Structures are given as C-alpha cells and as structure tokens.
Amino acid sequence: MMIFSRGFYRISRNLRSSLNGCRGFLFLEDQKREFRLTHNFNLLTDSTEKVLSGEVIFKDLPAFYSSRHQIHNQSSSIVEEQDPFSLVADELSLLANRLRSMVIAEVPKLALAAEYFFKMGVEGKRFRPTVLLLMSTALNLPIPELLPPDELGGTLTTELRSRQQCIAEITEMIHVASLLHDDVLDDAETRRGIHSLNSVMGNKLAVLAGDFLLSRACVALASLKNTEVVSLLATVVEHLVTGETMQMTSTSEKRCSMEYYMQKTYYKTASLISNSCKAIALLAGQTAEVATLAFEYGRNLGLAFQLIDDVLDFTGTSASLGKGSLSDIRHGIVTAPILFAMEEFPQLRAVVDRGFDDPANVDLALEYLAKSRGIQRTRELAMKHANLAAAAIDSLPENDDEEVRKSRRALVDLTHIVITRNK
Amino acid sequence: MMIFSRGFYRISRNLRSSLNGCRGFLFLEDQKREFRLTHNFNLLTDSTEKVLSGEVIFKDLPAFYSSRHQIHNQSSSIVEEQDPFSLVADELSLLANRLRSMVIAEVPKLALAAEYFFKMGVEGKRFRPTVLLLMSTALNLPIPELLPPDELGGTLTTELRSRQQCIAEITEMIHVASLLHDDVLDDAETRRGIHSLNSVMGNKLAVLAGDFLLSRACVALASLKNTEVVSLLATVVEHLVTGETMQMTSTSEKRCSMEYYMQKTYYKTASLISNSCKAIALLAGQTAEVATLAFEYGRNLGLAFQLIDDVLDFTGTSASLGKGSLSDIRHGIVTAPILFAMEEFPQLRAVVDRGFDDPANVDLALEYLAKSRGIQRTRELAMKHANLAAAAIDSLPENDDEEVRKSRRALVDLTHIVITRNK
C-alpha cells in the first residue's frame, strides 16, 4: 500500500513538472515533508484560495486528465482490496443502531419522523460516518510530547474511540436535520428517490424532526465535555444556514460568481465534514497542525463531492448531458458547469438572468453547456480538490502501524471514489 | 420589604390552616426553613405533582381568592416602588443592543430576518431576560464553604455577571427561534400584532432564521465552557420540540387530559425559563439545593404565565368571555379553561371531539365555558403556581445584602404581575 502511495505521489510530481505554469497544483515532496508541514499547509491553502476565486488552474488538462485517469484505473483494484466502507462496516452498523435508538423519543410520531431518513436502504453509503471512523484510526498516533505510546492504555483508547464514534453520530444527525429543513425550504417532493418527509407528513413535522435531531446532537455534544468541539460543530450549523441563505440570494452578480458558488458550497457541504474531521483530531489530543490537515482533507473531499454532484445533476449515470434530474437548474440554482460554460459563452448569462421557470430557457442553457467545456472543467476542479485531500493525508506525521496505514490508504481511496462515482 | 414578606407568609400560613383539607398548598414555616430546605423542596415537588395530575387543590377558593386579592392590592404600591423591569432596565438595554449586534451575520437578509423579532416595540416586556438578571442578583451569595465573601473579588463578580448576562441572551435567542419555527408550523399570520415573519418573507426564511439563532445560541453556549449548562439548554430545545409535537397530537384522550396539558405546557413554556434559572445558579457555583429552588421558581412562574395566557385567549383585556383572540380554540388547541369546564359538563367533550373547524362548535364550547367555573379555576391554578414560585424564592438561604433582597422581592413581585396582568 505504502509503495503505491509513494508511487502515486511520484507520478503526481512528475505530472506536475510536465504541466507548464500549473500554479496551485502542489504535491508535497516526500523528503522535505516533515520539516515543511506548516509551510506546505499554507501552500495548500493558497492554492485553494485561487480555486475559490474561480481562476483556472490547468492549462493542459486533457493530457493530465487521461494520465490521472490511468492512476485511477491502477488504484481501482486496490480499492476493491480494501473497500473503505467495509473497513469500518461492523462499527458502522453498530453506529446506525445507536443512532436509531437515540432518535426514539418520548413522542413516537417524532421518532418516526426522525428515523425516516435513517432507515435501511435510505441511508446511502453512510459517507460521513465512514470518513470519520477512518480518520479516527488514521490519527491514532501517540500524542506528541504528552504521552509516550506505552502510556496510551487500552481503556483510554477505547474511551477515545467511543468519543470519536459520538462525533460520527452527531455529524450524521446534523446532516439529516439539514436535509429535513432543506426539504421544507425547497419544497422538494422527492429526496434520494423516496418521497420527502414533508410531502408525506407535512412541513410541520419536518421542521420539528429537524429541530429534534439538532437538539439531540447538542445534548450528545455537551456530553463530550469539550467546549472547543461544541464550538466547531455549532459553527457548522451556522454555516449550513448561511449556505442555504446564500443559495436563495437572487442578485445576478452573485449567482454568476464562481467565488460565491465555492463559498456557498463550502458552507452547505464541506463545512460539516471538514469541521467534524477536525473534531476527531482534537478529541485525540492532536497538534494544531494535524487538526488542520484533518480539516483540509474534509474540506477538499467535501468540495470534490459536491462538484461531482453538480455534474451528475446534468448527466445522471449515463454521462451524457440532460440525463440527470436537472433539479438544480430547474430550481434556478446555478452550479459550476454552467458557470464554466458562461466563461466560454458570455451570452449564457442573459439566459441565466431570465431564470429557468420557462423550460425553453433550460434547454437553451443545456445547449450552451453541451458546446462548452463546462462539465469537463467541473470534473477537473473536483479532481484538483480530491488530490488536495489526498495530499493532506500524505502530509500526516509518518506512522508504521498497519491499521493506521490501512485507514490512511482508505481515506485516499475515498478521494478517488468520490470523483469516479456515477450516482 | 422583609416585613411585608414575612407578613405575606404569615397570612398565607393562616390561610392554609383555614383551608380544610388543602393538601398541596404548602408554605414553608420561617423558623424551620433553614433546616428543612431539602425536605421542603420535596413537599413543593409533591404538591406540584398533584397539580400536574389535574387534581383540584382548593376546596373553598372564592374566599381564598378574595383574601389573596387583598394581598395583591397591598403589594401593588410596593410593585410601583421597585418595578422589577426598571430594576434591571439599564442592563436590559445593554443586552438588547448586544443581541442585535449578535444577529448581524455575514448574510444581511438573514440578519434582517432574525432581527425582525428583536426590534424595538416588538420585544414586549423582555420578560425572560428580566427574570434571569434578577435571579443573578438574587443568588449573589457567597459560595458555601468554598469562598468566604471577601474573596469574591470585583473582577470575579464582573466576570460572573457577564456570563449570566450571556445566559439571558441565549435564552432570548432560543425563545425567538422557537417563535419563528412555531410561526411556520402554525401558519400563523400574525404574532404579537405584527405580521409574522413567514407571511412577510416566506417559510423558507423563517426556518433559516430560527436555525441561525439556534446555532448562534449554541456558539454562545459553548463559549461559556460549562458543559452542564450546555446540557441544560440543549435539553430545553428538545423540550420545545416535544411540547410542540404533543400539541399536534390528535387523540381525543390526550387532548382532554389535564395531566397531558400540564406536561405540554411545561415543555413549551416553563422548561426554558426554569432551566435557564438553574443555569444562572450553576454558573454562580451554587449548591444543588439552591439550583433546584431557582429551577422551581422558573417552572412555577412559567406555568402560571401560560395558564393566564390561556385565560386571556378567551377574555382578552376586558375579562369577559369571547373578547380574546380565541386563537387557541380556533386552531383546535384545548387549554385549561375548557378542560376544567369539561369536568363540570362532561357533554362538552363531544363538542371538543368534533373539532373547531365549524364556528358554531366554538360558540357552543364558549357557552359551556361561560356556565362553568373553568376560567376561575384556571386563574386559581395559576395563582397556586405563582405562590409556589414565590415560596421557592423565600426558601433561598437568608441574605442581608440590600441588593440581593431587592432582587428577591422583585422576583416575588413578578409572580403577582404575571397573574394580575390583562394583556
């Protein structure tokens, strides 16, 4: 695994040098990593700032894309060998059971409502808990200059693990709460292929069930007795709200700004996973540097995830335009593919400004998108963030423990899965 | 003041002995108070359990009511002398300004929405912050066996006060958030005489603004770095949700149960003020006994407040039936006056079971209510809880500090104001 990992970075480095003028695409050099941790992190941040400002990073991407794609093919057999989800499967079902029992309140109707999204078959891949449990193992390092490895007794480790599991549960509760409230907001009739709770049971219950989950999450958070962690996750709730509000903003300038779109995407999607990754590190007593790397992994993985989501809304599983649900554009939400298309065809902006209540306008926008490199450039941007996420894991202090290495490998594999998924 | 207070309890004790078989109506005997604190508290709790189970307490209440009313008249001049609200007026406006600045988020639209309920003229009497600031001073006692009075330095006191102010702010944010979400739920078109936020700006923004305030409350809570306090207030949010859900429950048995009604009223109204009163005590490092008395004050005051609210929904300011907004009954919400009337006229239950979509049914219920002692018995129950609240204050460890005594007096005065208000 480690050999592949090193090889992966060597290939990346070679790729980088072949990409003339490719600022922002930075992989850390293995030999200097240990001494340049903080500095490298600054570079990661800088590069992402550039992405956030909508600057184009890859001048010669088709070539890069195909090379990178080979890496993906190379890695896919490894992905099968240690499927990130199977690595924590037992713990995940334990966690799912605990979540289910946690939402059984005194008021059965409410429990039913809250459980609605947790029930089997609707839970999806349990993406967030998987990341957080893997991160827990990946950071299972001796706490520097505080506790030598031998003093990390079994009880202490078990207690730490159950606290980290609690973060995974809280994260899922916040996520489901935001889905419930989003469903009310968007008046969405379906979510994940099933009827949304509010169309089945009414807005009233969906708002209450979301509030209920948020309050349970707060109670669980308080039980961790770590006020920094409480702060982190309270801020996440604020970000989810801010993101949703930004999406509602109707000024043309903001709707057509890539920077605004990326900021909104961070708030709506990446803040939860990045801050909970950081919480995992803080509970483990890790250094600020390690906590920041955990945060950066989550942030870049979350951004990559959402960018691919935005592509799939246009393409669906078939990879051809117009086969997706087109739910974003039909709700007037402008995402990365359209924003990139607009850079090539400025006349698309007038179409966007007219809004998408008229289906003819949707068709017109799709025509421009088909002519443009919008979908491709969105995939490239997703890939860029996936690579930054992988680089954050590779920048963690070295560790020879087999379990730690397996989990780190799985976290890197997840970055591939996120950008190659087609549903 | 203290003379009046003693006199008040002496009168109460005399009244009690004149009320044959009046279980549950217990005032603490001054001379034994100090030694029987815990025991007395159990008595308070027991008596309230009986109230919660809907048992009628006063067998001869009209006589008591008029005696009690004289006490109120007697106290009204004192109330004017030290209006509870004016006692903390400066601090309240400081707090209001801080609340306003706290809701100014990055997204102006959201700040506007959240500020909607805070703005001047809509804030009402700032009932909750007033109680909490008065409670802060009322509990400003030397921490028993931990710090002698002289070690309570100025800085420590100031810091404690600003932490207690923070509780008052958080409480108001949670309260406003619940109003915003309730407005969505009930599809209420007006609230406090102004158009509700959701009818002006849509459900979407009302849900988001509520979520935003909740997340700000969480962040502020976390900054207090007291996990017990975080737990208390997280539980409050859960109670608010549970109460709202209980109100939605449509089974006839539950809608017609006084016990169910009182439990719901605790969750919806009294939990917030009781638990935040307890938080004030915990931050001050008070004993469990004092914290419980603070909690009991808030709980009984909250219950009294809501019972009078339920009366005013029928009577309005005019004290005659049908002059209120009748919004509860028109929304199918059955409150204490109707429940008491039902005990006298069991045939009213069939009317309730038919629901109140038909205005003729509302009129029929009002006819039964007018014939019954429903309004009077609801007022009596409110008075009972107001007295229990006052008794909790009087059970606090004695203190000769003038400020402490003034604040305790004001808290007792508030229990009178709550039951004598007509709006």
Model confidence at B50: pLDDT above 60: no
Contact A284, A309 (CB under 8 A): no
Model confidence at B330: pLDDT above 80: yes
Model confidence at A344: pLDDT above 80: yes
What part of A 210-249 touches B (C-beta under 8 Å)?
211-212, 214-216, 218-219, 221-225, 227, 230-231, 233-235, 237-238, 240-242, 244-246, 248-249
CATH code of the region B11-16+30-420: 1.10.600.10
Beta bridge partners of B191: B194
Contact A58, A22 (CB under 8 A): yes
Mean pLDDT calculated for residue range B403-415: 95
Contact A237, B218 (CB under 8 A): yes
Question: A280 or B60, which is more confident?
Answer: A280
Flag if B215 and A235 touch (Cβ within 8 Å): yes
Mean pLDDT calculated for residue range B311-331: 84
Q: Which two tokens stand for residue B411?
A: 């808290």
Mean pLDDT calculated for residue range B358-363: 92
State the pLDDT at residue A114: 64
Q: Does A104 reach chain B within 8 Å, measured CB to CB?
A: no
Flag if B208 and A244 touch (Cβ within 8 Å): yes
Three-state DSSP state, A28: coil
Chain B partners of A221 at a C-beta cutoff of 8 Å?
230, 234
Beta bridge partners of B194: B191
- Best CA proximity match to B83, nearest among B413, B379, B385, B421: B413
Q: Does B205 reach chain A within 8 Å, measured CB to CB?
A: yes
Long-range pairs for A214-218: beta carbons < 8 A, 24 or more residues apart: A214/A173, A214/A174, A214/A177, A214/B211, A214/B214, A214/B237, A215/B234, A215/B235, A215/B237, A215/B238, A215/B240, A215/B241, A216/A102, A216/A103, A216/A173, A216/B238, A217/A170, A217/A173, A217/A174, A217/A177, A218/B218, A218/B230, A218/B234, A218/B237
Closest residue in A to B182 (Cα–Cα): A204
Q: pLDDT grade, residue B393 (50/70/90)?
A: very high
Model confidence at A50: pLDDT above 60: no
Q: Provide the 10 A C-beta neighbour count for residue B257.
A: 17
- Between CA B387 and CA B384 the distance in angstroms is 5
State the pLDDT at residue B71: 37
Model confidence at A283: pLDDT above 80: yes
The mean-pLDDT minimum among A65-79, A219-233, B235-249 falls in A65-79
State the pLDDT at residue A256: 93
Percent of chain A exceeding pLDDT 70 equals: 66
| Residue B148: exposure state from Cβ atoms within 10 A (0-12, 13-18, ≥19) | exposed
Q: pLDDT grade, residue B247 (50/70/90)?
A: confident
State the pLDDT at residue B124: 57
Q: pLDDT grade, residue B156 (50/70/90)?
A: low
Flag if A223 and B227 touch (Cβ within 8 Å): yes
State the pLDDT at residue A197: 56
Model confidence at B16: pLDDT above 70: no
Model confidence at A6: pLDDT above 80: no
Model confidence at B279: pLDDT above 80: yes
Beta bridge partners of B190: B195
Contact A282, A78 (CB under 8 A): no
- Between CA B93 and CA A400 the distance in angstroms is 60
pLDDT tens column, B194-216:
455 555 556 777 788 889 889 88
Instruction: State the nearest Cα–Cα gap between A219 and chain B, in angstroms.
Output: 5
| Residue A66: exposure state from Cβ atoms within 10 A (0-12, 13-18, ≥19) | exposed
Mean pLDDT calculated for residue range B219-235: 90
- Between CA B325 and CA B190 the distance in angstroms is 11
State the pLDDT at residue B22: 29
Torsion of CA B212, B218, B223, B227, to 10 degrees: 180
The contacts of residue B321 (CB under 8 Å, 6+ apart) are B314, B315, B366, B369, B370, B375
Main-chain phi, psi angles of B399, to 5 degrees: -150, 135
Instruction: State the nearest Cα–Cα gap between A122 and chain B, in angstroms.
Output: 24
- Between CA B160 and CA A152 the distance in angstroms is 37
Model confidence at B98: pLDDT above 90: no
Question: A73 or A86, which is more confident?
Answer: A86
Instruction: State the nearest Cα–Cα gap between B318 and chain A, in angstroms.
Output: 34
State the pLDDT at residue B58: 29
Q: Give this complex's ipTM.
A: 0.72
Mean pLDDT calculated for residue range B287-298: 97
Instruction: State the nearest Cα–Cα gap between B139 and chain A, in angstroms.
Output: 25
Chain B partners of A218 at a C-beta cutoff of 8 Å?
218, 230, 234, 237
- Between CA B101 and CA B86 the distance in angstroms is 23
State the pLDDT at residue A100: 73
Contact B273, B298 (CB under 8 A): yes
State the pLDDT at residue A198: 57
Mean pLDDT comparison of A39-48, A71-80, A398-407, highest-scoring range: A398-407
State the pLDDT at residue A113: 66
- Best CA proximity match to B413, nearest among B90, B10, B72: B72
Model confidence at B265: pLDDT above 60: yes
Q: pLDDT grade, residue B106 (50/70/90)?
A: low
Model confidence at A142: pLDDT above 90: no
Flag if A109 and B248 touch (Cβ within 8 Å): yes
State the pLDDT at residue A69: 36
The mean-pLDDT minimum among A68-72, A365-369, B134-138 falls in A68-72
Q: pLDDT grade, residue B154 (50/70/90)?
A: low
Question: A57 or A352, which is more confident?
Answer: A352
The amino acid that residue A413 corresponds to is: D
Cα B398 from chain centre? 24
Q: pLDDT grade, residue A318 (50/70/90)?
A: confident
State the pLDDT at residue A46: 34
Q: What is the average pLDDT score of chain B? A: 75
Model confidence at A181: pLDDT above 50: yes
Q: What is the CA radius of gyration of chain B?
A: 21
Query: Domain locations in chain B?
Result: 11-16+30-420
Mean pLDDT calculated for residue range B96-105: 72
Contact A30, A6 (CB under 8 A): yes
Mean pLDDT comparison of A135-139, B106-110, B137-141, highest-scoring range: A135-139
State the pLDDT at residue A125: 65
Contact B25, B47 (CB under 8 A): yes
Chain A partners of B241 at a C-beta cutoff of 8 Å?
110, 208, 211-212, 215
State the pLDDT at residue A74: 39
State the pLDDT at residue B155: 62
Chain B partners of A249 at a C-beta cutoff of 8 Å?
107, 109
The contacts of residue A102 (CB under 8 Å, 6+ apart) are A169, A173, A216, A220
Q: What is the pTM of this model?
A: 0.75
Instruction: State the nearest Cα–Cα gap between B76 and chain A, in angstroms.
Output: 41
Model confidence at B323: pLDDT above 90: no
Mean pLDDT calculated for residue range A166-182: 89
Model confidence at A1: pLDDT above 50: no
> What's the CATH class of domain A2-305?
mainly alpha
Q: pLDDT grade, residue A421 (50/70/90)?
A: confident
